[in-house]
Amino acid sequence: MLRLPPSVRIFLCRVPVDMRRSFDGLAAMAQQVVREDPLSGHLFVFRGRRGDRVKILHWDRDGYALWYKRLETGVFRFPSDPAQSAEISSSDLGLILEGIDLRSVKRQKRFSFPVK
């Protein structure tokens, strides 16, 4: 299970990314496609064209950190939506990284404060 502070937001880039991109290329995609500041300390999740690779970009006080995961079998399933980017919860990211399709997840009703 992935544990992140509640202040950290997680953004998915639904546009397929060339996995040869490194720190600066992914930071540029975070600005142009996701429309968020890559220096914010939030996580930016990018998926390769074939769907079997994911990179996560994070600004960590004094530099970028990059996590990379490649599946030997199967693909990562990002939520389907016409938008180019989306914000997800840390539990959703954990499910995606475990290979679970979010469309098959049945969520129980929970209380939450209204978003302002």
For the sheet with 53-59, list strands across it: 64-70, 53-59, 43-48, 10-17, 85-88
Q: Counting beta carbons within 10 angstroms of the beta carbon of residue 36, is it exposed (0 to 12), middle (13 to 18) or buried (19 or more)? A: middle
pLDDT tens for each residue of the chain, 116 residues long: 567 777 889 999 988 999 999 999 999 999 999 999 999 999 999 999 999 999 999 998 899 999 999 999 989 988 877 778 889 988 889 888 888 887 777 777 878 777 65
Rounded distance between C-alpha atoms, residue 91 and residue 96, angstroms: 9
Three-state DSSP class for residue 58: strand
pTM for the model: 0.84
